[in-house]
Amino acid sequence: MVDPIIRLSGISKKFKGKYVVESVDLDIAAGEFFGIVGPSGCGKTTILRMIAGLEIPSSGSMWIAGINVELIPANRRPVNMVFQSYAVFPHMTVESNIGYGLRVEGRSPREITEKVAEVLDLVKLSGLERRRPHELSGGQLQRVALARALIKRPKVLLLDEPLAALDAKLRKAMQDELSKLQRDLGITFVIVTHDQEEALSVTDRVAVMRDGCIQQVASPAELYEFPENSFVANFIGSANCFSGVISNVDGDLMHVLLLDLETKIIVNRNSQFAKGDAVKVVIRPEKIQILDIGDSVPKGNREANLLSGVVTDITYRGDVSMYYIRLHEGKPELLKISEPNLLRSTVSKFARGKSILAYFPAESVWIIET
């Protein structure tokens, strides 16, 4: 990456002697929509606040647009922040809220009026400029907060769980709007969220955090398909993760004994591993096909796995159903299979207690270090 807009080098933050962020190195490119995702308390919001200048790092260095900003106060940094609570002024109208920053800077009334009208149109709030916050919906309040943050055209816009208070349908719509807005403006967005789906759907790259440390930085597709550890595999999407040992290497294939399930599977060879190595096996539920015992099985593919089991539970999710399969009697571990609901039916083809086959090719399996 050439000349990142944000560079964190060895950034740490302590509260009461305990690290909440520890030795974080991170580069964010200009014009990138970057996400920081992780469970509550992982340090993601603290990183955002340090970039904004609202928290001072305990150690490490930070650059924004090529300038070391450790001694630069928040109001002089080329960033603006949208808070989870929106933080709009309840006694002000929409236009007064949006133009507040420009008034503080002493801009002329004419310039303020022009710029407010410009961002109102940008966030689709034209015609609502005279309303007060209590007269707005959650989505409209979100747009006011966005417009106020964007009116000064910062080089970086920081978003702290901006959609957390919205209902699911509105949140999805706002995700699409945020993504389009970022593309249209071309400025760097950095969003913090605990919502993995949100992180995957709007960003160019994502950093996954745990206990103050970054676990992996990659594109959404890379995180999902090629997680570097079991935490990332389980946090980003749903995954079947099992402990295993490589029992044999056969050309382009490896045989892995799944210790939890007392069964063997084949996977594509990975030069990082050798016979006898302990590994974690990751299989995404949608990459497994569930078959009736009487169904025809794809022929002639030696690079495939076929396991027998019994359906123990089903979770209906509208577009898909999640099946939980017991592969070995007496073992608590279950195999999750996600099956699209292609037919209009209220009855599942695979009922609880039904014997089934789980089919998946070797290339659908990803192995990582334990």
DSSP line for 250-282:
ETTEEEEEETTTTEEEEEE--TT--TT-EEEEE
Strand order in the sheet with 156-160: 79-82, 156-160, 188-193, 33-37, 205-210, 213-218
In this predicted structure, what is the pLDDT of residue 155?
Answer: 95
Q: 81-95: b or e for each residue (b if 16 or more CB lie within 10 Å)?
A: bbbbebebeeeebbb
In this predicted structure, what is the pLDDT of residue 302?
Answer: 64
In this predicted structure, what is the pLDDT of residue 1?
Answer: 63
> Could you tell me the pTM of the whole model?
0.90
Q: 252-282: b or e for each residue (b if 16 or more CB lie within 10 Å)?
A: eebbbbbebbebebbbebeeebeeebebbbb
pLDDT single digits (tens) 30-52: 999 999 999 999 999 999 999 99
Please state the three-class secondary structure of 141-171 as a single string. Answer: HHHHHHHHHHCCCCCEEEEECCCCCCCHHHH
Handedness of CA 70, 72, 76, 81 (dihedral sign): positive
- What radius of gyration do the chain's Cα atoms show? 25
Phi first, then psi, for residue 38 (nearest 5°) are: 170, 170
In this predicted structure, what is the pLDDT of residue 330?
Answer: 64
Handedness of CA 313, 314, 315, 321 (dihedral sign): positive
Tokens 């206990």, residue located: 211
Low-confidence ranges of the chain (pLDDT < 50): none
Q: How far, in Å, CA of 95 to CA of 167, rounded?
A: 25
In this predicted structure, what is the pLDDT of residue 349?
Answer: 81
Identify whether the C-beta of residue 13 lies closer than 8 Å to the C-beta of residue 54.
no
For the chain, domains (ranges, CATH) are 6-235 (3.40.50.300), 240-369 (2.40.50.100)
